[in-house]
Every structure is written in structure tokens, then in C-alpha cells.
Structure 1
Amino acid sequence: METHNTEDVTLMEEVVTMMMEAFKELCSILEGNQISKDLFNFEKSTWRLYSGVYSLCRVNSNLCNSMMYSTYGDLLKEYIHGTLLQSLRLKQGEFFLKELVTRWAHYKLIVGWLSNFFGYLERQYIPGNSIPTLSDVGINCFTHMVYGQIMCAIASPAVISLIDKERDGMKIDRTLVMRVFRIFVELGKGSMDLYEKDFEKPMLDDARDYYSRKASIWISECSCPEFMAKVEECLIGEEKRGRCYMYHTTEKKLVSRVENELLVVHETELLEKESSGLKSLLRDNKVDDLARIYRLFSRVHDGLKLISILFKEHVTCEGMALVKQAGDHESSKKVENKDHVAAGLLQEAQVLLIGRFIELHDKCLGYVKDCFQNDSLFFRALKEAFEVFCNKSITATSPAELLAVYCDFILKRGGIDHGTTFEQVVKLFTHVNEKDLFAEFHRARRLLFDKNDSDEHEKCLMAKLKQHCGGLFTSKMEGMVTDLTIFRDMQKSFEEFIQSNSEANPGIDLTVTVLTTGAWPSYKTCNLNLPPEMLRCVEVFEEFYRSRTKRRRLSWVYSLGTCKIIGHFEPKTMELLLNTFQAAALLLFNSSDRMSYSEIKDQLGLTDEDVNRVLHSLSCAKYKILNKEPDSENISETDYFSFNSKFTDRMRRIKVPLPQVDERKKVVEGVAKDRRYAVDAAIVRIMKHHKVLGHQQLMSECDEYLGRIFKPDFKLIKKRIEDLIGREYLERDANDSNVYRYIA
């Protein structure tokens, strides 16, 4: 049992009395107008109170310490009950918030002063008794008496009401809102549970309801661009609001809640609006609106998925419309001009289609770069869309051939930026599955018959193709260009050879293109019996060629040759541009006025097919240089032919076309053959690496390996696997027939 002497009791009474007087004075100061000045004077007048509390605590009596601790709490409760609550109960709404902020500031000053008075108690008594600190006692009193009774029910709705007013465009006191929000945080004593439960959650729920109502109105009244402009404005406002007077974690939650109500909930309805949705914006080239849509939907999880799908659908639809338009155009041309279409699609239409594909690609690529910020999702959507219609045949003509025709047109055309154009071509080329078919059509159509002396444009195109597909893809093209470069030097040497050796001069201008067999397409060779004039030219060139090389052998491809012949007709003399076969046939009539079909065939040494083509072009087509007996449109073995001396034309120089053999079929067959070799090589290479591999994995790796050049048919891969097993490159596993083993 503790005992106290008279002096201790007297000191305790004096300290309590001084404490009550100081507390009343402090409360009076806080209600005045010059708080800072009065508090300064108050501090100087209370030094005796500090000394008294110190002396009393030094007595080291639990009773004294407990009494002082209780006095501290009683003083706070007295202030809350007698002053703070009375003032708050008289206020509502924004006035309540202002009063709350003021009273909370005063209360913190009171707690601070009292904690200073009882500082020795804080250091000596509280730690040893495991009781709340003076600061915690202050917060607990406020929480139980103010927060629980009045603040929680009024403050949160009042703050939320102010926030909604600001959303509606009204000006509010942001500093007031921020100070109220801080009270919630400070009352949590380091924990955010109180703030999150009683302020953050109601505020977030209100934001959800507010923007749900707004979105329902806007979605029915506004176009997609108008809706998105309002959404962007709202999100910017919420972000500023969050940074200004909310806790940083609340800002993220608030913006996420608003994004969900304005974007996620209405995404499909908004983007698919009939007259103003995403496809409409793409069609009308609304770049700013598209950029805004991307900017906003990129903020939400999977928000760009639907946009990329709609973008892909739009691009696919645009491309398929071009394909259909080209197909309809060619069908109408087929009805108007059967002969022309029988030789192939109109080059003009082919060039126009590829040109429109390139324009569409540039436009859509611009969307991806400028509006969709180079997002890989949209690059993939663009690629998949172009792969759909870039691999659609137009009236039986493959896209690879169309692209080859376009390249041929560009290479022959001047006045354009070839580097930029080829860059566009290669971008389109990447979407074509049959890249090997393009290469063969390009070689077959282009290089040999180009009379331009400059190879720079050709090399520019090959460099870009090589960069995309690798050196193996362009090796044959590079070999062809090299041959043409060597040919020009060889032609100069041949001309010098003729000039220096007059006996070797055949009397006819001769130009020979020497090609390397491996680099060029295989051309049909035949044993044409040349007229003496032509035979002499061949012999002279072979003599010249043997003088330059001993190890190479020449094989003459007369079907690719051209001749210029002077025709002496009664009306006038004309220059005829002919194929070698045609020229050889016409020269026969220098020594004979009339010849039968059989005689011409025997003297030329050609097949019936070639003789028919030659005689038809000279007697039944546009230019009737030979007369045919009997007169008909078909060539027969009983026909007779004679030179038409009365032939004339308004031009002095004409080109007599030879009916073309369908080279397309030959190219396609050649590519199919090469693909078999490519599949064999791929299978062997993959199996050599793995040694043992399952059927599905082998098929998958073959598809991936060959997909850079062409899209392989799974049936072809299976067939080549069986062939390689038969040739003992592979064998099936003894225990599992779906597993293959490589035989070294």
C-alpha cells in the first residue's frame, strides 16, 4: 500500500489546478483571433506548469502518475464534449467540413501542448505500463467521441457531394477536401483501413454510379468521337483530382473505376456504332479520333483486343473489295476481248491492283504508326489481314505473278523514286505466301528481255528482297544480272573481233546474249535448220567464243531470238521485227515462190506445233505476209503458202507477234518440282539435327522452316517423308510408327 506525505498531496493539487487553468486559457486562445501571438505569450507563462508536472512525476508514485494520465484524458474529453461536438452539431455539408477542419487543427494543438506538459510522464510512466501513448490517447478520444458519433456519417457524404459538384463543372475548395481527407488518414494512426472503409470505398462507389449514369446518356446521344472526347476529359479531370487531394493509391483505384464504367462497359457498343464507330473512322481517315481511341483503351486490360480485331476486319474488307473489283473488271474485259484475255490478264489492271494494294498498305501502316503507336498487336492484325487478300487469285492468276508483273512495270518506268517504290513492294511481298513463285515469274518475265543498259534498279530490288528472304532466295537473280553485265562486255569484244577480222564478218549485225544455265529458267531448245545467212552468223560467234574459253559449250535457244528483216513489197519496202522461227520461214521464200506445209516443215526441221504457230502468225493473224491456200483461219498439213508481194501497212516498221505458248503452266510446274527438292532438304536437315522426332513435330518444324519462302502443303510433306523412307534417309521407330529416326 502506497502512502503519501502532505507535501506530495499539496503539490499534486497545485499541479492539477494549474493544469486546469492552463487548459482553459489554451482553449480561450484557440477561440480567439490572434492564435499565434497569444500562444507565444501562453508558452512563457506556463513554465511553472512544466516544472510542477516534472516534480510530481519525480515522486515516482503510481497513483500520482495514474492520476496525471487520467487528467490528460479527461481534459481532452472535456474539450471534445463541451466545445468541439457542440460546434460541429450546428453545421451541415460544406460548413460542417470547414468547421471540422478548424476544430481538428485546434484539437491537434491541444494534444500537442498537453503532451508537452506531460512529457516526463510520456518518457517514464507509459513505457513501463504498456498503455497507449499520449498521442494515441488523443486520437482515440477523437475517434470514439467525434468520428464515431458524427464525423463518419456527415463528412464522407459532404466530401463526395463536393467532388460530384466539381465533376459537373462547379468550382469547389480543393484545399478543404484535401484537409478532410487527411483527417481520415491521420485517424488511422499509420493504417489505411479507416480511410479506405469510410472514405475511399463510398467515394469510389459514387464515382462508379456517377459515370454509369453519364455513360448511359452519352452513349445514346453522342457519336463515338464525341463520346471518347468526353471520356478523355473526364479521365484527365479525375487524374488531376487524385493528384490534388487524394492518397496516391486512391488515384489509381478511382481512375480504374472510371475507365471501367466509361470504356470497358460500353466498348463493343461504342466501337461498333454504325455511323461513327471504329470502321467508320478508319474509312474516313479520322487520325486524331483513332489516336484518342487507342490512347484511352490502351489504359484498360485487354482494351485493345477488340480494336485490333475491328482494324483487321476493316483492312480485310478493303482488300477483298479491291480483289472483287479487279475480278469484275477482268470478267468484263473477257467478254469484250476474248483473244486479249486468252493471253493473260490485262497488264494495266494487274499493275493497278497491286498499286492499290500498296496504297492501302501505306495507309494502314500509317494508322499503326501514327494512331496505334507501333503497337505489335496492330502490326500482327495488319499482317494477318493482308495475308488474306494478298493470296487470293484473280481469275486464275496468282498474286505472285501479279506482283512480278508490277515489278516489271516499275523497273521499265522512269521518273519515279525506285528505292521508295521497291520498299513498298517488299512490304507487300512479305504477305505473299508463294515467294518462290514470284521469283520464278520475275525471272521468266523480266530480266532477259529488258533492254535497259542500267542494272541499278534491278540490283536495288534484289537487295531489298535479299534483306528479307536471304541470299539463297536471290542467288539466281544475282547470277542473271551478272550474266547480263558480262554479256555487254562480251558484245563489245565481239564487235572488235569482227572489225579486226574482215573475213569473219558475216555481213549481218549480230547480238548474242550468253547465259549461265544454272541461273536462268530452262528454255525449250530445238534443232532449227537455219538459213545460210543465219548459219554463218552462228559459226562466226562460236569461233569467237572458242577463242575466249575452251571449257564451255554453247546451246542455242532460237525460240528467244529476234530478227529484223527488210521486206520488199510492191507498195513499199518495210522493216519486219520477227522471231527467229518466223524469220527463218520467210527467208525460205527468197528461193521459192510457193511451198507446201510439208516442205516448210522439212526445211525448218521444227515440230508441227512450232510450224503451226509460225505459219499462223504470218498468214492468218493481223499481218498477212504470206498467202495461204485455201484461205481459212486454221493451218492444216495440206495447205500451200506463197509470198504476199502486195502486203502493206500504214507503218514502215511493224512487229509481227508470234502466238505465245502458255509459259505460266511451265513456271508453275517448275516451281512445284523445286518445292519437292526444298521439302526433302528441309526434312533431312531437321532430322539430322534431332536424330529422332515425332510426326507432328516434324510437320510443324517443316512448315516453320519453309514458310519463309512458300506455304507447304501438309500432303506434300507427308509424301516426301514416305519417299525419303523409301530412299533410306529415314526410318520409322520399331515401337512407334509416328516417330522417325535419321539414318546417318
Structure 2
Amino acid sequence: MAQRTHKRTRLNSSSNTNINVSNNSTDLSPVVLNSSSIPAPISQTENTLGLATNASKEHLIFSSNKPLIGLQNNVSERAEKLGLKPPPKKLVIRPLKEKPKLPDNYEELTWAKLQKAIRAIHNSQPASDSLEELYKACENLCLHKMANSLYERLKNEIEVHIVNEHANNPAESDIFLLSINQLWKDHQQQMGLIRSIFLYLDRTYVLRNSGIASLWDMGIDLFRKHIMSPTGPLRQKTREGLITLITKERDGESVDRSLLHSLIRMHIDLSIYNTAFESYFLQATRDYYDKEAQRLLEVMEIPEYLHHVQNRLEKESERNRAYLDRKTKMNLIKAVESMLLENHLDLILEKGFPEMMNREQQKDLALLYDLFQQVSALDLLRTSFGVYIKKTGTAIVTDTERDPHMVEDLLDLKGKLDDIVYNSFRKNPNFLNTLKESFETFINQRQNKPAELIAKYLDAKLKANKGMNEDEMDQIMDDALLLFRYIQGKDIFEAFYKRDLAKRLLLNKSASKDAEKSMLLRLKQECGAGFTSKLEGMFKDIDLSRDIIRTFRTSKLAKEIEHTKIELDVNVLTQGFWPTYPPSPANIPPYVDLCQKKFQEFYLTKYAGRNLKWQNSLGMAILSAHFPKKKKELMVSCFQAVVLLQFNDLSPETKELERTLQSLACGKAKVINKHPIGRDINTTDEFSFNEEFEHKLTRIKINSIQLKETSEENLMTTERVFLDRQYQVDAALVRIMKMRKKLGHNQLISELIKQLKFKSHVADIKKRIESLIDREYLERDKEDPTKLIYLA
């Protein structure tokens, strides 16, 4: 470059001036300075003097040896004549007339140097030239437009090397995978070094030509073409070797995971992972687990098999993380699930589900749920769950021998199923619905009986029971209400519950009045006020009766029976609220009869127009008995009292007499003796007063003998319910016809069944329709007898 002078040199900014600088370097490319690097133009004064008129035509040329400088002499001379300071000298750079020439064999010599370095890299030997010199050689070839030839020479050199390596690699070697892996690692390392030398080629020539692969991609393509060719033996052999190693690992053997990772990564880098490995690997996985499933299901229990499946899935997920492509995970897990689970869902449920349910194996059931959820088979599991509930529940309901503890068994089953749904089936609402639907199905297969037994269960629990606290009683009522919700014959339950409640209230057998009212409140919330209105009326009668008897005891009529020494207690019952009781005549002792008449006189005086009927079967008495050894008080029923007081003069109903005698002679407290001794009462038996009777208590309650619960009472209760149902059917039929006016016979029956809350047979409905026709509520259409018409 020319030295800077102290004088200001100006290049005209309006011209596109180039400065060409050549040096002694082998780099012959021009250095271009654009107009922005030229000093600013001269001042306005200088322009006025015309000092730069011919500036754009003057040039200053630098050569590599000696610069040629042309000065504007005419401008200087004019300045001197005018007595002005001469303007700064202006330098103008002129282009070289001739470009330097390269040696004729420059490309070959340079390539020879580069080729030598490439072969040294392939042979794992040090290069004779430095990397900087090699890089510069590549750069010079590219600058002199030899990049295309250089790229082809390089590609050919690498390809020849790879072909030779392929020829030297035996496909059947025992260490085949190791050799392939080493070949791949060497290739990657060699391509990395080669690329660092030819980086200028990669960043200029390759980038400017879109159709040409980068040096790294070129190396990948050549390796894939000659080493892992689709038609060559190495690809198949590598795939088989990898699958064999993975199979060994699945069988529990220890394998080199780093080798697996490297070779599988090679497939990914070569872009042959999906076609050359993954599809074959997944098929091998399916074959492996298909055979395993068939083998294990024959020898393993289902819970053990499920844990094995879970373990396999976890290991396959870990295997995928260790050396497989992450995108393979979904297909891999799907293959395992398909072979171990999906193909055997029915067998797993048939062989293991009922047993796990019976044993309440909640953890195993939770695992079963999770696995079925993974394969979208929860509907199948839910169906099996429903089948199990119906089968188990039906066995309880239809077995008459289990009637005494049917409710307890059903509650145990319900509690077990609830725990399983909440703990094993993740509170799935679909499973909760299946539980509800299944219970409703099997509990109503035996019509009316479950409703009756639930009422009796509550009766037993609501009677006086020692050791039961309030929380326990609340839990019992809530549990019974769960079953109550499932039954369709709620009117049957009401009838039996009302009958039992009446006995508890009248005989003072309730454990707690608060518990009774709490149960009543639950029923009211569940079924409405209409369901419990009569039951509430029973409680009102008991409360009102206490007030009446207190008033009676202060009346004049009560003083007239003081000499009898009888403490009379009467419950006045409204007939519409209480169950219907059959009449039970008995020869009441005269002084007891006198007390009853005095109370009746008092009551009718206070409540004119009413009528009282005495129910002897509901009466109770406390008798003072004088035994030779000690005085006792006997709590007995009305008939027991009659027997004891009028031993030789009684006339109760035969069945009632047999039951009363049996309670007095065959119970725990034997106040009379039976001859001969035995449990059953016969017409030839004789009875005598037991003078030897003794008991540790002073007041003794002698329980009445219940006739194997009165099949007659049950029948009467059921018949009354059926009678009420007839009224409901009639009302529903009239309501439908009043709204529709005219309707087909089958349509009417169909709509009626939808409205009824209980099951009703079609034959019974037809009878009610005929009854309504006879009573002129309905008539048949004269033109179409299959249709019915409502008569207003």
C-alpha cells in the first residue's frame, strides 16, 4: 500500500472507484474498497476554484512491486499563479492490466496434497501437512473455481475407501456387531476430520448449490449405500444381531447396552431406522410375547400373570429409554399390550376375575383395572363386574335357607363392592352405575321377599339392644336404606315396617324413640311425606294416649276401680293409621273387664260419636305371683295372663291357646308344667302350676311364642298390599284414559307399566281394565274392539 502523505488526497465520491491491491501471497483475489471508504469531498471553496474538475479521470495504480502515481500538475500550477495554496494531491487507482497466472499443474498438486491427507485419515495416520495448510489449499481451489472438481474428487476418494472397508468386513463373523459398530464409529470420526479440512468447500460451494449434499450427508449416503445397502447382507445381519441381543436381554441375560445404543443410533442417523429395523423389531416383539402369553397363562394364576405383564411393560419402557428411538415407545408398548393383554382379555376375566372378587384382592383388582384401562377395555371389565354382582346377589336372594340373614349378607356384599369400586376401580362413575343397576336387577328377582326382610331387619335392630350406641344405630339405618333404594316393592316394605313398628310402640320394645323418629325422617326424605304419613300418625296416637290416660286417672270413674288394685294403661289407636288386626276373643277376668268398661265410658263421654274395639292380642300385663320359695312378678301377654288367672275357665282361639301354653310351659321361665315334657303342644297334654319355680330376677318377662312367623299374618299383610295396588292400578288407568280419551289396549298397558312403581303382571292389569269397563269408567270402541274409550 502507498504511504499516507500529510497532504489531503481526495477521490471523487461520484465515481465508482476501485482500488486493486496485489501482494506476494498466493491468494490472488482482489480487495475492493467501496465509495463509502473514500475520504469526504473537498470544501465548497475548492469546488468554486475548479480544483477537482478532472478528478474522475485520474487514477492511482498500486502494483505488487512499484506504485505509479499521477498528479494533477495543471491544477497546482494555476493555484500557484493565483497565490493560493496548492490543493492536496489526488490518488487514483487503476486496475491491473493482466491477472497473475497459476501454475499449469496447480490443481493436481494441491489435490495430491489433500488426497494424501485424506488417506492418512482413513489409515488412522498423522497427516504430513498441518490442518491450516490443508484448509488453505482447499480454500484456494475453491477461490479459483475448482470447487466442483474438488467435491467430486473428495466424494470418489471416500467412496473407494468405504467400498474397500465393506469388502474387508465378513458378514458371518462372531464379533460382527462389534466390527460394524467400530466401522461406523471410525467413519464418523474420519468424516469429522475430513470436514474440518474441507470446511471452506462445505460452507461456500455446497451452500450455493442446493442440489449437492453437505460433506457429512455425503458420507452418510455413501455409508448407507455401500455398507448398509438394502440388498446387501450387512443390513439384514445387523438387524438380526440386534434383535437377538434384545431377545437375550428379555430372557434375563446381560447384554452390552452401549453396543445396542450405538448401532440403533447408526440406523437413525442413516435414516433407515423405520424400514430396516423398527418394523422387524416390532414384529419380533409380537412373536416373542405371543408365545410367552400362551405359555404363562397355562401355569400362572391370573394375579401373578398381571404382575408379570406390568413388569414387562415397565422393562420395555426402560429399554426404549436406554437405546431405542423415543418414537418407538408407543408402538412397542402397544405390541406388548396386544400380545399379553388384548388377545386374552376374555380368558383373564373368566379365569381370574371372580376369584379375585371373592377374595377381595383389591390391589390385584386395581392392577387389572389399570391394565384394562391402558388397552381401552374397561367396558368389558365393567360387564364382568355386573355379571359377578348379579350372580352373587341372585344366589343370596333366591336361597330360602339364607332368609334369616339375607339382609346382612346383602349388606356385606354391598360393602365389599363399594370398597372395590372406590379403592380398585378409582371411583369410576360407570362402575358405580353398574353396581346400582346390578343390585336393582337381582334384588327384585324374588318379588316382595327382600322388602319384607329389610323391614324385619330394621325391626330387630330398632328393638331394645344393649351395647349399641347412637353412631352404630345410624350406620345400621343408613345401610338398610341403601338396600331399600334398590327394591321395587316399597309398598311391601311399608306394610311390614308399619306392622313391626306398631308392635314396638305398643309393647314398648323400641330401643330408642329418637332412633325410631330418625328412621322415619330418613324414609320421609327418601320417599316423600305421603309414604310416612300413617307412620307419623302412629306416633301421634301414642303421645295422645298418654295424655288421655293421665286425664282418666284423675277422673271419678278411675276411683270406682281403685278396689281392683289394677293399674290400667290404655293406648287408643286410630284405625286408619295402624295395621288391621284380626279379632281375638278371650274370657277376660271380671275385674279387668270392669276396668275396660270404665275407661270406655270415660273415653266416649269425652269423644262422642267414636267407637272403641279392644285388641286382646296386643295387651300386656304384669302379674304378681306367689311361689312357695319367693314372690315374683311376671310380665306376660294378655292371653298368658288369662291362662294364669283363669286356668280352668278360658276360651281363647285354639292356636292362640297353644302358643300361650307353649310360652308358659316350654320357655326359659316355666311357670307351669307340661305333661308329658316336650316342645310341642298336643291336645292330650296336661298342665299344672309349677310350685317349684324359681328365678334370679324378681320381675320376669315371659316372651310370647311367635308362630313360625305367622305365615297367615304375612299372607294377610301381602294381600292388603295387593289390594292397595289394585286401587293404584285403577287410578293410573283412569288417569291415563282421562288424558288420552281413546287408546289402544296394548298402548294403555305399556303406558301403565311405565307409571307404576311396582311390577304388575299383564294378566292382573287386564283384570283391572275389565273391572273398570264393568264399572262404566271405560268402554270398548264398537268399530275397533282393540281400542278403549274413556267415559266421562
Separation in 2 of the partners of 1:97 and 1:457?
Answer: 84
1:122-156 alpha-carbon deviations (Å, 9 max, x no partner): 44333xxx676777655443332232135422221
Q: Give the counterpart letter for 1:144 in structure 2.
A: K
Q: Is the 8 A contact 1:694 1:739 kept in 2?
A: yes
The match for 1:199 among 277, 295, 318 is 277
- Report what 2:58 is aligned to: none
Q: TM-score, normalised by structure 2?
A: 0.66
Instruction: For residue 46 of structure 1, give the secondary structure of its aligned residue in structure 2.
Output: helix
- Report what 2:335 is aligned to: 257
* Distance of aligned partners of 1:161 and 1:554 in 2 relative to their CA distance in 1, 3 Å threshold: farther
Separation in 2 of the partners of 1:619 and 1:169?
Answer: 81
Alpha-carbon distance, 1:251 to partner: 1.7
Aligned ranges for residues 529-568 of structure 1 at < 5 Å? 531-543=593-605, 546=607, 556=613, 558-559=615-616, 561-564=618-621, 566=623
The match for 2:514 among 446, 456, 462 is 456
Aligned ranges for residues 3-402 of structure 1 at < 5 Å? 14=106, 18=110, 21-22=113-114, 25=117, 28-29=120-121, 32=124, 42=131, 46-47=135-136, 49-50=138-139, 52-53=141-142, 55-56=143-144, 67=149, 70-71=152-153, 73-83=155-165, 86=168, 92-103=175-186, 105-106=188-189, 109=192, 113=196, 114=198, 117-126=201-210, 137-148=218-229, 149-188=232-271, 194-267=272-345, 277-302=352-377, 305=380, 309=384, 312-313=387-388, 316-317=391-392, 320=395, 324=399, 327=401, 350-375=403-428, 379=432, 390-391=443-444, 398-402=449-453
RMSD: 5.3
Q: Give the counterpart letter for 1:414 in structure 2.
A: K
- Higher-Rg structure is 2
Alpha-carbon distance, 1:488 to partner: 5.6
Aligned ranges for residues 574-585 of structure 1 at < 5 Å? none
* Distance of aligned partners of 1:480 and 1:167 in 2 relative to their CA distance in 1, 3 Å threshold: same
1:538-595 alpha-carbon deviations (Å, 9 max, x no partner): 2324555x4xxx9x966546256414275899989986766668879999x89xx979
- Report what 2:466 is aligned to: 414
Aligned ranges for residues 694-705 of structure 1 at < 5 Å? none
Instruction: For residue 564 of structure 1, give the secondary structure of its aligned residue in structure 2.
Output: strand
Alpha-carbon distance, 1:435 to partner: 3.1
Separation in 1 of the partners of 2:251 and 2:365?
Answer: 27
Q: Is the 8 A contact 1:437 1:668 kept in 2?
A: yes
Aligned ranges for residues 411-490 of structure 1 at < 5 Å? 411-412=462-463, 413-416=465-468, 417-450=472-505, 451=508, 452=510, 454-462=512-520, 464-465=522-523, 469-471=526-528, 474-476=531-533, 480-481=535-536, 483-484=538-539, 486-487=540-541, 489-490=543-544
Q: Give the counterpart letter for 1:421 in structure 2.
A: I
Aligned ranges for residues 624-643 of structure 1 at < 5 Å? none
Q: Is the 8 A contact 1:272 1:278 kept in 2?
A: yes
Separation in 1 of the partners of 2:219 and 2:738?
Answer: 81
Alpha-carbon distance, 1:70 to partner: 3.9
Alpha-carbon distance, 1:712 to partner: 4.0
Q: Is the 8 A contact 2:621 2:636 kept in 1?
A: yes
Instruction: For residue 410 of structure 2, give the secondary structure of its aligned residue in structure 1.
Output: helix
**Residue 497 in 1 paired to residue 551 in 2?**
yes
Q: Give the counterpart letter for 1:562 in structure 2.
A: G
1:397-438 alpha-carbon deviations (Å, 9 max, x no partner): 922222222211112223241222333333344444433312
Separation in 1 of the partners of 2:194 and 2:135?
Answer: 16
- Report what 2:455 is aligned to: 404
- Report what 2:31 is aligned to: none
Q: Is the 8 A contact 1:692 1:741 kept in 2?
A: yes
Alpha-carbon distance, 1:167 to partner: 0.8
- Report what 1:606 is aligned to: none
- Report what 2:722 is aligned to: 672
Alpha-carbon distance, 1:664 to partner: 1.1
Separation in 2 of the partners of 1:120 and 1:253?
Answer: 42
For structure 2, the residue ranges without an aligned partner over 5 or more in a row are 1-97, 666-670, 673-680
Alpha-carbon distance, 1:162 to partner: 1.7
Separation in 1 of the partners of 2:183 and 2:594?
Answer: 119
Alpha-carbon distance, 1:239 to partner: 1.8
- Report what 1:337 is aligned to: none
* Distance of aligned partners of 1:197 and 1:543 in 2 relative to their CA distance in 1, 3 Å threshold: farther
1:303-332 alpha-carbon deviations (Å, 9 max, x no partner): 7736853884487358627864x52xxxxx
Q: Is the 8 A contact 1:729 1:743 kept in 2?
A: yes
1:252-290 alpha-carbon deviations (Å, 9 max, x no partner): 2222222232234445555555xxx44444444544444
1:702-734 alpha-carbon deviations (Å, 9 max, x no partner): 65654xx53443444566677778989999999
Separation in 2 of the partners of 1:11 and 1:539?
Answer: 151
Instruction: For residue 531 of structure 1, give the secondary structure of its aligned residue in structure 2.
Output: helix
Q: Give the counterpart letter for 1:184 in structure 2.
A: H
Alpha-carbon distance, 1:74 to partner: 3.2
Separation in 2 of the partners of 1:415 and 1:12?
Answer: 119
* Distance of aligned partners of 1:17 and 1:368 in 2 relative to their CA distance in 1, 3 Å threshold: farther
Q: Is the 8 A contact 2:730 2:772 kept in 1?
A: yes
Instruction: For residue 512 of structure 2, give the secondary structure of its aligned residue in structure 1.
Output: coil
Higher relative contact order at CA 8 Å, sep ≥6: structure 1 or structure 2? 1
Q: TM-score, normalised by structure 1?
A: 0.69
Matched length:
652
Separation in 2 of the partners of 1:116 and 1:538?
Answer: 127
Separation in 2 of the partners of 1:17 and 1:517?
Answer: 129
Separation in 2 of the partners of 1:500 and 1:19?
Answer: 138
Instruction: For residue 374 of structure 2, give the secondary structure of its aligned residue in structure 1.
Output: coil
Q: Is the 8 A contact 1:323 1:353 kept in 2?
A: no
Residue identity over aligned pairs, in percent, reads 26
Instruction: For residue 172 of structure 1, give the secondary structure of its aligned residue in structure 2.
Output: coil
Alpha-carbon distance, 1:160 to partner: 1.0
Alpha-carbon distance, 1:619 to partner: 8.4
